[in-house]
Amino acid sequence: MCRHLAYLGAPVPLRALLYDPPHSLVRQSWAPRDMRAGGTINADGFGVGWYPAAPDPASGLPPGSIPGTATPREDGEPLRYRRGTPIWGDTALPQLAAVTTSGAVLAAVRSATVGMPVSETAAAPFAEGRWLFSHNGVVPGWPDPLVPLAAGLPVRDLLTLDAPTDSALLWALVRHRLRTGTDPADAVGQTVTEVAKAAPGARLNLLLTDGRSVVATAVGHALSVRDTGDAVLLASEPLDDDPGWRAVPDGQLVVATPAGVRTRALAGA
Ligand code: GLN
């Protein structure tokens, strides 16, 4: 199954999450430790979404940017780089990750479920406005168990799904709730509960962020959190041997900000 992570805290270069740690996301793409029998490697695409760091008041540029080259975004929306190929073979990402600094990042590497297409648009993060979303897992029997839930979505959403995959439909279900003003933790929690009921045995590790907080679930797959008081990192697998990593118990929903982590049980998961 895919591996994913989310970071909130002081701005760091993307390479500090993707490449530098001993068990970085790039390493997890080819040597994951805990796939729970859901595939072996994560070779079917990847994506990184990041929120530009707040501009430095003196220069007006994001911290760490090279004068004359930065393109600051002031609308609060993230930037995204996705590909439908293995992250380890991407020639642009190492440089991009070295020069790009952000205090809010969501990244994923994908192991496509058998029968689902391999394409850039099927790779997380899925995005709209300020939101970034990722799913690690599978809906058994896809698509049949989710037909009744899909029928509750606007036809336009179904016609414009990122890809014909379980993950893209889960994003459409969460997004529909967000668009109607549902609290993000409730949008994720309600979606997991209804999908778990419709498709027993579904593995539903979700990540959702707006760059200020992260909502995550652990349902059927590994998830760990490291909270240092001024930064928080959630990842399918710990990125290093830091004793601060804690495994999130199965069936839990996490709401994390740099100031703290709250956990609650998910109904019906
Ligand atoms: N089932 C999803 C897909 O194929 C997610 C895969 C995963 O977690 N490996 O895109």
161-185 pLDDT, tens digit per residue, is 999 999 999 999 999 999 999 999 9
Predicted pLDDT of residue 52 = 86
Instruction: Provide the token pair at 201.
Output: 């045995």
d(CA 105, CA 124): 12
Strands of 3-144, DSSP E: 3-13, 46-52, 79-83, 101-109, 126-128, 131-138
Does residue 42 line the site of ligand 1, with CB under 6 A? no
Q: Which atom of ligand 1 is nearest to the CA of 116?
A: 4
Predicted pLDDT of residue 228 = 92
**Ligand 1 mean position, distance from CA 63 (Å):** 35
Rg (CA), the chain: 17
Q: What is the pLDDT of residues 110-160, one digit of tens each?
A: 999 889 999 999 999 999 999 999 999 999 999 999 999 999 999 999 999
Predicted pLDDT of residue 76 = 75
Best mutation site among 46, 166, 195, 206 for ligand 1, i.e. most ligand atoms within 8 A of its Cβ?
A: 166
Best mutation site among 113, 114, 120, 142 for ligand 1, i.e. most ligand atoms within 8 A of its Cβ?
A: 113
Predicted pLDDT of residue 34 = 76
Q: Which atom of ligand 1 is nearest to the CA of 39?
A: 9
Whether the pLDDT of residue 64 is over 70: the answer is no
d(CA 53, CA 158): 34
Q: In this structure, which residue's CA is closest to atom 3 in ligand 1?
A: 112
Whether the pLDDT of residue 53 is over 80: the answer is no
The active-site residue out of 2, 196, 232, 266 is 2
On whether the CB atoms of residues 170 and 187 are closer than 8 A, the answer is: no
| Nearest-10 Cα torsion for 177, 250, 269, 186 | -20
Q: Which of 190, 192, 188, 228 is nearest to 210 (CA)?
A: 188
Predicted pLDDT of residue 87 = 96
- Please confirm, yes or no, whether 99 is among the known catalytic residues: no
Residues 32, 269, 143: CA angle, nearest 5 degrees: 75
- Per domain, the residue ranges of the chain are 3-265
Residue 24: band (very low, low, confident or very high) from pLDDT cuts 50, 70, 90: very high
Predicted pLDDT of residue 268 = 75
On whether the CB atoms of residues 258 and 232 are closer than 8 A, the answer is: yes
Q: In this structure, which residue's CA is closest to atom 10 in ligand 1?
A: 112
CATH topology of domain 3-265: Glutamine Phosphoribosylpyrophosphate, subunit 1, domain 1 (3.60.20)
Q: What is the pLDDT of residues 191-204, one digit of tens each?
A: 999 999 999 999 99
Predicted pLDDT of residue 220 = 94
Predicted pLDDT of residue 62 = 57
Does residue 113 line the site of ligand 1, with CB under 6 A? yes
Is the bond leading into 125 cis (omega within 30 degrees of zero)? yes
Best mutation site among 165, 204, 237 for ligand 1, i.e. most ligand atoms within 8 A of its Cβ?
A: 165
**Ligand 1 mean position, distance from CA 255 (Å):** 23
The fraction of the chain above a pLDDT of 70, given in percent, is 90
Whether the pLDDT of residue 21 is over 70: the answer is yes
Whether the pLDDT of residue 66 is over 70: the answer is no
Q: What is the mean pLDDT of the chain?
A: 91
